[in-house]
Amino acid sequence: MIKGIMISTIGAIFLSANIITGGVARANVYHVPLISHSEIVRRRTRSLLDGSSGTNIAKQQIDALYQGYGTHYIDLWVGTPPQRQTVIVGTGSPKTAFPCSKCSDCGALYHTDGYFQEAESSTYRALSNCECTYGQCDSQHGSQCRLSTSYAEGSSWYGYESVDITYAGGPHSKIQTLPGVFSDNDKDDADPLRAQNFAFDHSFACQDTATGLFKTQMADGIMGMDNYPESFWRQAYDHGVIDKKAFALCLSRQDSPTKMGIEAGALTMGGHDVRLHTTPMIYSKLDRYEKFVVRLKKMYLRAGGGGNSVLSSDPNLQVLPLDVSEVEYDRYSKVLVDSGTTSTYFPTGLSGAFKALWDELSPGVEFNHQKMHLTDDEINNLPTILLQLEGSEDMNTIINEDPSKVPGLAASIDPDNPYDIIIAIPPTHYMEHDGHGGYIAEFFVDERGYTATMGANTMMGHDILFDVEEGSLGFAESHCDYEKLEEEVAEEEEEMVSEKKDQSTPQSKDYIPVEKSGEKAVGETESKSSLSRICVALIIAIGCLGVAYVGFDRFGGKEILARRHGRLSTDDIYDLELELQNVPRPIV
């Protein structure tokens, strides 16, 4: 897609070309600016930082995440008619997999949904005759394409490669069958009813065997979001449903997960949405051909009581670096960022220095992984862990030429590396509540045998942009409240409907005072006349708003918005089985 660029004052060359927009070619004129390459790069990067990073908002979608047992999951709707499967979002895993009808003892009692029934989907097909896309041919199983994955903590699964129409997100527990009320011109990426527009023929693993945590976890399976061709986001890009090699993951925490689903964050396919952010997005380097890894430069502890943000609520609190050599930090040139791992692991070389600094800042509370019984105040007074990651100077320079003015850049604590980024892990994130009044530290500096990993508890409280296209990993502090964003969108839409009603209601000229030339008095008379006009205008405006509101309510405006955002009472929602049977197949 060719986009217009602001013309420099120096001048421009005008050329005629066929511009491809939304898959349609049309003749048009575009401008080749006579400005330096560095200025073009600066402006392009500025546009990436200012807003949603997808080049086409119609191909960017925000979906709700739900709280599992330490991890976060999303709804996948698979097949025709769609069947829901909940899947852990794992940025360290390449494959998507969930139990299917042939799975034996795969944890049905623990999961949110029953096994996927292949025979009930008219669009399902299993790859056979060794025509494998991502699996390996297994002649002992009828030339099936087999897929499998094993994990460090002992879990594993096995299955056969399958293909079916799939989309993520949408209303959580019901598929709505109401006729389209809103037109295709409605482009807000937080609209859950747009989810079906992002359906595609998805290649996944139908599990026939699952062990360990894959049996006992709340979610049915896992959605691979690693930087591999078979990952869900990459397949979505290859099928053209998103137009940028990027997605953003925003994780929050809910204390009491249930099978009904408690919202705990958001996944943005195709870019990121700045409405979720509470600080500017800052960027670390990302090798677009590698797994999602970052480089740890330093680690610090900040004295307790400074809040959850990298910006301390008390600027006088001590921030002390671990007494560790550069040689030890060199071991962490590749730290995996994995949302599918609950905890955070730095397995070698940091334990002694970490615990010594902890004892200095938090005397009386030993750092270990035993259960602790602590009050909320005692939790909040534990140290905050700060990670310094290698930053992208090119991207971070654009935010502000003075890095000391950008929250999260390292200028204030490491002047030699001002464009590195600082990530805060407060005690409310690394201390895991066990549900019985106890807390356990889930930040490990002494677990040998594990890959260095920033897990979900480090990622929480940030909207993290995995931007393979730009070669960067962005971090912005965030409330990660999808429900709040959805409500704001609904309110904006309601205001737009009211404004349209106002514009369509003519105002009576009988109530608008008309001044005759030469008759206006001065001083007090003029002031009273102006005040009278303002009062009359306000009365008319209030009357129009009242008429608009009554009309909006009378003609079902409130109900339309409620249906659109999945907020209907149980009396207004059809039986799930009936709904599934009547949902038309999404167009892909």
The pLDDT of residue 346 is above 80: yes
Single out the residue of 368, 388, 323, 377 nearest to residue 350, CA to CA. Answer: 323
Nearest to 95 by CA among 133, 138, 149: 149
In this prediction, residue 533 carries a pLDDT of 66
- φ/ψ of residue 125, rounded to 5: -150, 140
Give the position of tokens 């699996």. 135
Instruction: Taking residues 432-442, report their average pLDDT.
Output: 87
State yes or no: pLDDT of 419 exceeds 60.
Answer: yes
- Comparing 360 with 144, which gets the higher pLDDT? 360
Long-range pairs, 562-570, Cβ under 8 A, ≥24: 563/176, 563/178, 563/181, 564/181, 564/182, 564/191, 564/192, 564/193, 564/490, 565/191, 565/192, 565/486, 565/487, 565/489, 565/490, 566/171, 566/172, 566/174, 566/176, 566/192
Q: Does residue 104 carry a pLDDT above 60?
A: yes
> Is 374 a residue whose pLDDT tops 60?
yes
Q: Is the pLDDT assigned to residue 8 strictly greater than 50?
A: no
CA distance 146 to 160: 4
CA distance 178 to 448: 54
**pLDDT digits over 523-571, tens only?**
444 445 556 666 666 767 666 665 555 454 444 444 444 434 443 333 3
Q: Of 251, 556, 237, 177, nearest to 425 (Cα)?
A: 251
On the question of pLDDT at 151 being above 80, the answer is yes
The pLDDT-based confidence of 506 (bands split at 50, 70, 90) is: low
Distance between CA atoms of residues 102 and 105, nearest Å: 10
DSSP 308: S
Do residues 143 and 132 lie in contact, with contact meaning Cβ atoms separated by under 8 Å?
A: no
Question: What's the rounded Cα separation, in Å, for the pair 141 and 118?
Answer: 18
Closest residue by Cα to residue 198 from 163, 167, 237 = 167
DSSP letters, 155-211, are -EEEEEEEEEEEEE-SSSS----PPP-S-TT---TT-GGGGGGG-EEEEEEEEEEEE
Question: Left if phi > 0, otherwise alpha if psi is -120 to 50, otherwise beta: which for 281?
Answer: beta
Residue with more model confidence, 226 or 255: 226
End-to-end CA distance of the chain: 20
Question: Which whole number is the average pLDDT over 25-47?
Answer: 39
Secondary structure letter of residue 250 according to DSSP: E
Neighbour tally for 430: CB within 10 Å: 23
Tens of pLDDT, residues 157-205: 999 999 999 999 888 766 544 333 334 555 567 777 778 889 999 999 9
Q: Name the packing angle between helices 482-504 and 524-554 (round to 10°).
A: 110
Is residue 366 pLDDT above 50, yes or no?
yes
Of residues 238 and 16, more confidence is placed in 238
Position 213 scores a pLDDT of 86
Residue 531, pLDDT score: 60
Segment 135-163 mean pLDDT = 86
119-128 tens-digit pLDDT: 999 999 999 8
Q: What are phi and psi of 489, to 5 degrees?
A: -65, -45
Query: 127, 94 in Cβ contact below 8 A?
Result: no
| CATH 2.40.70.10 domain locations along the chain | 71-244
Q: Is the pLDDT of residue 275 over 80?
A: yes
pLDDT at 28 over 70: no
Residue 465's nearest CA partner among 53, 72, 71, 45 is 53
Distance CA 414, CA 412 (A): 6
User: At 143, is the secondary structure helix, strand, or coil?
Assistant: coil
**Span 372-400, average pLDDT:** 94
Strand partners, 209: 158
* Cα–Cα dist 435/89, whole Å: 23
Helix (H) or strand (E) segment spanning residue 496 = helix 482-504
Residue 583 carries which DSSP code?
P
Is the pLDDT score of 61 beyond 50? yes
Q: How far is CA 87 from the centre of its chain?
A: 15
pLDDT at 481 over 70: yes
pLDDT for the residue 209: 92
More confident: 87 or 484? 87
Return mean pLDDT, the chain: 78
Spell out where 59-155 has E strands.
61-67, 72-78, 83-90, 97-99, 125-126, 136-138, 144-150
More confident residue, 295 or 183: 295
Residue 487: pLDDT above 60? Answer: yes
What DSSP character marks residue 372?
Answer: B
Tell me the average pLDDT across 315-344. 94
Element (H or E) spanning 293, and its range? strand 293-294
pLDDT at 564: 43
**Residue 385: per-residue pLDDT:** 98
Contacting residues for 273 by C-beta, under 8 A, at least 6 apart: 52, 60, 62, 189, 190, 248, 463, 485
Q: How far is CA 454 from the centre of its chain?
A: 17
The pLDDT of residue 410 is: 97
Q: Is residue 576 scored above 70 in pLDDT?
A: no
Q: What confidence category does residue 138 fall into, taking pLDDT thresholds of 50, 70 and 90?
A: confident
Q: If DSSP codes are grouped into helix, strand and coil, which group holds residue 378? A: helix
Phi then psi dihedrals of residue 106, to 5 deg:
-105, 20
> CA–CA separation, 145 vs 121, rounded Å?
20
| Alpha-helical runs (H) found in 309-421 | 326-329, 351-361, 376-380, 393-399
Looking at the structure, give the CATH architecture of the domain made up of residues 71-244.
Beta Barrel (2.40)
pLDDT at residue 588, as a whole number: 33
Under 8 Å between Cβ of 250 and 464: yes
Q: 95: which 2 tokens? A: 């494959």
Q: Single out the residue of 383, 365, 73 nearest to residue 217, CA to CA.
A: 73
301-455: CATH architecture: Beta Barrel (2.40)
Please determine, for residue 13, whether its predicted confidence score (pLDDT) is greater than 90.
Answer: no
